[in-house]
Amino acid sequence: MKCKICKADAVVKLKAHNTAFCRECFLAFFERQVAKGIEKQKLFTREERVLVAISGGKDSLSLLCELKRQGYNVTGLFVDLAIAGSSGTARGKVEAFCRERGLELIVKDLAEEGLAIPDVHKAVRRPICAVCGKLKRYWFNKIAMDGGFDAIATGHNLDDECARLFSNTLRWDQAYLAGQGPCLPAEHGFARKVKPLWRLTEYETAHYAFLNGIDTHKDPCPYSQGASFTALKGVLQRLEHAMPGRKLDFYQGFLKRGRPAFESFQASQDDPLAPCPACGYPTSSGGLCGACRIRGQVAEWKKEHGDG
Ligand code: FES
Ligand code: ZN
């Protein structure tokens, strides 16, 4: 198999684009897709400061690596969940990655905040992945706002976005369909949220990380069941196999024609926001924000059960 551009030996075959690339031409393709994704959706400019949330996985590290290469003003953010084994390994990889590339890194330690995920898991009777996601989003936003960043970028790829869109569509969840997309503008004390890898698949980010010699954290989260998303991704993968290019069409079609149809719904459903009395974070709860309530539950649990 030869590279479609330069005829050298190909290392990556991309069915959706009906092409194959050698290492250099693949990296150039990846660069173009990220640039197009940023420009088409006006995610951010070179003058703006972007906080990139990194977990140690292939998507977020590839994102930070490529944005830096393209000359964007980026800072990494790692939220240490304090999960025995897993968080320490991921943190080590993230720190080494940033050190080797001269990248600025902010680390937020949830144990220091009384929010270590194993404690939250014991104290809060709700599915831990949803609660953990909420806490991560809270810190992403708080650190972006407190640090004066213009946007917070995450490594969500086309497969993540399509699985989410598919799930929202299966439930016809109007509020989520109104809000989904690669760019959520800043509003009411929330920073702009962007997903620059929205045009690239998991397969492509994995090849990018591998071809750049990025040492990624591969172990799944020990709490994750991820069943529904994995099932949806499997369905979309089979569809893509039979009809290459369908995932990108599905997602782009939604951005152009689907989302505008739901936008009016979002405007009419917005709850009024007020600052959390404990931390100042915007919340519609009428009292403490979600993160402060969880912190209280963990403290309560520890008081009842001793510290462990
Ligand atoms: Fe948060 Fe698994 S990553 S519970
Ligand atoms: Zn709060």
- Which residues lie closer than 8 Å to 219 by C-beta, 6 or more apart? 86, 89
Give mean pLDDT, residues 76-83. 97
Dist CA 69 CA 49 (whole Å): 15
Rg of the Cα atoms in the chain: 20
The residue whose C-alpha atom lies closest to atom 3 belonging to ligand 1 is: 221
What is the 135 CA–ligand 1 centroid distance (Å)?
10
Could you report the per-residue pLDDT of 194-228, keeping only the tens digit for each?
999 999 999 999 999 999 999 999 988 888 766 66
Pick from 129, 38, 56: which is nearest to 93 by CA? Answer: 56
**Which pLDDT score is estimated for 245?**
93
Give mean pLDDT, residues 40-50. 97
Q: Give me the residue spans of the domains in the chain.
A: 38-214+226-263
Q: Is the pLDDT of residue 271 over 90?
A: no
Q: Is the pLDDT of residue 232 over 60?
A: yes
Residue among 83, 87, 124, 160 whose CB has most ligand 1 atoms within 8 A, to mutate: 83
**Which pLDDT score is estimated for 212?**
97
Pick from 253, 106, 259: which is nearest to 177 by CA? Answer: 259
Instruction: Compute the C-alpha angle 5/11/12, nearest 5°.
Output: 80
Show the tokens assigned to 259: 């989302």
Q: Is the pLDDT of residue 63 over 60?
A: yes
Confidence of residue 37 (pLDDT cuts 50, 70, 90): very high
Could you report the per-residue pLDDT of 283-293, keeping only the tens digit for each?
989 999 999 99
Confidence of residue 182 (pLDDT cuts 50, 70, 90): very high
**Considering Cα of 258, then 38, then 188, then 273, what sign does the dihedral take?**
positive
Q: Is the pLDDT of residue 267 over 90?
A: no
Label residue 46 exposed, middle or buried (CB < 10 Å: 0-12, 13-18, 19+). exposed
Q: Tell whether domain 38-214+226-263 is in CATH 3.40.50.620.
A: yes
**Which pLDDT score is estimated for 226?**
61
Percent pLDDT > 70 in the chain is 96
Give mean pLDDT, residues 72-93. 96
**Which pLDDT score is estimated for 23?**
97
**Ligand 1 touching residue 229 (CB < 6 A):** no
- For the chain, the average pLDDT equals 94
Could you report the per-residue pLDDT of 119-175, keeping only the tens digit for each?
999 999 998 999 999 999 999 999 999 999 999 999 999 999 999 999 999 999 998
**Ligand 1 touching residue 221 (CB < 6 A):** yes
Dist CA 82 CA 77 (whole Å): 15
Show the tokens assigned to 104: 């600025």
Q: Are strands 73-80 and 49-53 parallel, antiparallel or unpaired?
A: parallel
What angle separates helix 290-305 from helix 128-146, to the nearest 10 degrees? 120
The residue whose C-alpha atom lies closest to atom 2 belonging to ligand 1 is: 221
**Ligand 1 touching residue 269 (CB < 6 A):** no
What is the 258 CA–ligand 2 centroid distance (Å)?
34
